[in-house]
Each structure stands twice: as structure tokens, then as C-alpha cells.
A and B are shown apart, each in its own frame.
Chain A
């Protein structure tokens, strides 16, 4: 099984991003997804900057993949999308059907991203025919549904599972971070820069609930499938995706690597990672339950 680092969901200052990926180059990660996939207003790095990082990571032996923006609204968003697709040296992750159209028209191989809603064999096969060489399971999908899809999956198509991180649960035209500061999106003053891991929403009784990340809403809990690595291997999952956070990402990649390689047991991994997460773990989606639930390892064995 290979290890991937998902696209950076948050908005960090330019130097922090550059430093982050320099550190990533030295980790045991196989695949790195790059690019601004959340908000078009974020401009600390442009497409060319991401392509430069991709070059460096490729030189360090990683497979660099450029992701497209998930929610496309304006003509200028489409321009950026075309600009990303023009990066012919790299594999592209298509995060909406517009990207799929552009890539398949050029007969390019692509990664079918997690927001394309691939829930059944017919859609999965169609994506493969259009050029997908890899697909990322929707976050809300369960192991049981994945098992059926694995059985029906066309030859040569890799399966990737989001295995660690706060989950991107929803996208909106509205920017909730700007809204918190009574700002309009068009004049957001780039408030996201102040929240390297998003802005926490609590319920009125103080329970951590969701995370605001600009136009994206995430879980507050951290999806963590470290306990399911063996099960995923048995199911033929090819790649595990870890989502970047501002602290401890290299340590988490190292930990997943050791778990995949079998040099670290699940229980030891869990205790080693206890202090590395942004919040408590959850794994409900994998077990076909509410996403915020945490199902114990044995009870969850399938």
C-alpha cells in the first residue's frame, strides 16, 4: 500500500507552505497532492508556484499530483481550472465534472477525486473509460459499499481512501470565515490566514462540532482509519490519504508508513498518535454509521 498526502485544505502564508513541502520531501510519503482546491481568493501561491513545488517533490522521488478547485463558480475559476489542466507534466486530480470533461477530451490520465460522488460500479467503470487511473472513495462511503466496488473495479484502476484528517464535509458559495467577521466574501481580508487548522464551531453546550474553513465546512473530529489498515489492505485498497494539518504531519506520515509496513502494531500506533491530532478521532463513516462516531476496533471488524 502506498501513502499519499492530500491537498492542503487551509490557507497558510507562502513561506509556511514552502517550508511545509520541503519537510514533506523528506518523509516516507509516496504521493503528494498539491494545489488550491478550496477557494479561488487564496493567492499566496499561484498555479505556477504549485507546479514548482511539484517539480521539487518529483525530484525527491514523490509522485506529485495537481488538484483542481472543487467548487467552480466564475469564468475566472474556469480559467484557473484550464491553467491547472495545462500542466501536462503532472497527473491531475479532477474534483468536479468540468475537470473530467477537459481531461478526458485531451485523453489524459487523471485521478477521480473524492467529491465526484462515485458510489457504484457503473459510474466507477465510466470514470475509468474516460481516463481515470485512480479514484478516491467519497468520504461518507462505508467499507461495505467499498467492498462491492472493489469487486467490480476495472483492472488498472487504483483505489485511494481518505484515512486521516479533519473531513471536508461540505462546500458553499458563502464564506463562513468571512461571515464570522461580518465581512463579505469579496472583501474577506483573507481571514483564513489566521486559522491554520480552521475555525472551530461548538454547540451551545460547548461541544466541538464542526470546523469552518472559508467556503468549506469540515468535521471537528479527526477521521482516523489507523485501526483499519489491515482491513483496507485485505480489501485491495492501494493508497491511504493523510490530510495536511499545521503541526505533526511528517510524524503522522511516518506513523502510517510504519503501520503499513507492519513495523508498528495498531494499538501502539494509536497511542503514539494520541497527541498528534487536532481533536478526538472518529471513524463512523467507514463502519456505515454517523461520521462522528468512533467504533472500537473489534466491534468494527468486518
Chain B
């Protein structure tokens, strides 16, 4: 572990693989978060993540440039394969990552006992939405940071911050889970692959695109998620973002294919004492990571320097909209009427 001076507010960026890690660090990330090439993390996608050599190289690259590396081990281990997760914790300590991001209490207990010096972050997959829940993990395992699920309105985030010694990290930008993370079995229900245990949602192997007379159909394990008319942009069939029928009305019954973007809330988040902002997207390209990191770095630097004078620059929004899912963005649950 490295000991850098604590920053007042950290930008935490996704590093699906080494090129994205470098892109994030080069463009001003304070921390990057990574995963191993297996189901120990919630972005267990083909072609993503780090083997041992890549992880060592990533840590070296980041530390040389005074950025931290976090390792997400945020799926729920099962008894038969328990040792894969504990070995990953051991590796994190051995390689010198700056913190591990965990969801499972049993694994936290292991980490705390075996590697008391290793910094623990509570993953969003831990579904801790109140200070009572976060303080449970603090008392039991000494977690130093918690990532909030994307369900709380601004005053609720503030209430959490005020009532816990644990640093609070929130999602600022990227794909939007409309469900409480860690409490969603929709993908398991439809495909058998679960975010909780396998680390995937709506996995590519279950996806089928079919051109039919009624339009382009997208299916997940045979279930029709959406149908696109000619000229409509075909979206990936994330199962909560399809169009369905309720009482003979066809609409996005759960959520539109939209991205979270909280640039305009940044000074407020700083004011209420949030310590870090997380960018979603370990499955996204290095170009995406570079683009988004650069914009958020500029925004954070401006807000840190001049909170009152902060305004969201049009150029930032234009850059971010280019890479947003469905080219739409929302304030999500931070903005109460969204609920």
C-alpha cells in the first residue's frame, strides 16, 4: 500500500483492463477500480479484467503517477468456491492494492482478520442504504468507505454522511441500475446468471438479435426485451431497460435506456461531505474512460477551487452526451421526482 496525502474529494474511475487504467490515470483519476479475470467481481465479462502481470503493471503505473488502485471483489462467494475469493483477498494484500471493495460480510471478516492493514470499502453490492447499515459494517469490520446504492435522494445522502464515520462514495456518471444493487435477481430469474454470485447482468451469451417483419427484436434467453422499428437505434437488451406491456400500454415499464449524470450536483455533493465520486463503466472502452475522466477532472478541480462560481460547462455535457447510453441522461434518485 502507498500512503499519499488524502485528497479532499476523489475521482474514482473504471479500469476494465490495463489500457483503460492508463487512460484513467493519464486523464486525472485519483483512483481506479479493477477486477480479476473471474467471478470474484461484478463485471465478469469476457475480455475484461486483469491477470496477475497486468494487475502488477497497473499498480506500478498508477502508483508512479500518484493514483490509487482499488480491487473489486464484490460478488458473494459460495461455500464450494470460497477459497477463490480468499485467495483474491490475499493477492490484493500481496500486490499492494490500496483498498479492496467487498460486499460479503464473511469475506470482510476474513480480510480484517488476515490482513488488518488492508483498507476495506463496502461495495454498492452490499445494499447498505442507511447509516445504521453502514455503521454495522464499520463496527464489525472497520470499513473505511461505503459506496451508496443509487436509491437515495440528496437529503438522504446528507443524512447518511452526517451519521457515520465512514467515508461516503456515490455514483456520479454512467450506466444506471434502477434496482438496489445486491438486491436484484432479475438477471438470475431470466438467464440463470446473477450479479450477486456470477458478477454479470443480462449476459451477452443469453442475448439474441433477430430481424423480423415487425422489426429488430432483442431477446434475453428467449424472452423478448424490446422490438425496434426501422430507423430506431437498437439497444442492448438489459432486461430492466426494455419496452413491455402493462395494461395494454407499451412503454419502458421499469427504466428508459439512460445514463446517470450528476455533474450539476457536484458542488452540492462536496458541500454535504461526500468524499468520492464513482464513474461507472469497467465494460467500456479506454476512449470512453479517457473522455469521461477528463471532463470530471475539470469539473472537480473547478468546484474545489470555486464552489460558488461553479457552473456546468456546455462543452462538458456535449462530451459526456457523446458517450452516454441512449444519449439520454438523468439525475436518477438524487432528484426526488425520478422516484
Contacts and interface: CB of A to CB of B under 8 A. Distances in A.
Secondary structure dominating the interface of B: mixed
Contacts of A149: 79
Which 6 pairs of residues, A with B, have the shortest CB-CB distance?
Answer: A122-B106, A98-B132, A173-B151, A123-B106, A291-B189, A148-B79
Interface in B135-176: 135-137, 139-140, 150-153, 156, 159
Interface in B230-279: 240, 243-247, 249-250, 253-255
Contacts of B194: 140
A252 interface: no
A290 B128 CA distance: 26
A122 B80 contact: no
Contacts of B221: 290
Contact of B79 (A81, A102, A115, A121): A121
B190 interface: yes
B311 interface: no
Interface stretch (A55-63, A199-207, A227-235, A253-261): A199-207
A24 to B, nearest CB: 27
A79 B236 CA distance: 41
Contacts of B253: 176, 179-180, 201, 212
Contacts of A207: 223-224
A184 interface: yes
Interface of B: 76-80, 82, 103-107, 109-110, 126-133, 135-137, 139-140, 150-153, 156, 159, 178-180, 182-186, 188-192, 194, 196-197, 221, 223-227, 240, 243-247, 249-250, 253-255, 333, 336-339
Interface stretch (A13-21, A29-37, A69-77, A263-271): A69-77
A96 B189 contact: no
Interface of A: 70-75, 77-78, 81, 96-102, 115, 117, 119-127, 138-140, 144-145, 148-149, 152, 167, 169-176, 179-180, 184-186, 199-207, 209-210, 212, 217, 219, 284-285, 288-293
Nearest to A215: B339
Contacts of A122: 82, 104-107, 109-110
B133 A119 contact: no
A231 B159 CA distance: 47
A204 B338 contact: no
Contact of A73 (B105, B130, B243): B130
A27 B243 CA distance: 42
A293 B104 CA distance: 28
A72 B224 contact: no
A139 B106 contact: no
A217 B197 CA distance: 20
B79 A152 contact: yes
Given A75-B159, A122-B109, 8 more contacts: A120-B79, A126-B106, A171-B179, A173-B333, A174-B338, A203-B223, A204-B250, A292-B190
B85 to A, nearest CB: 9
A192 B90 CA distance: 48
B132 A209 contact: no
Nearest to A148: B79
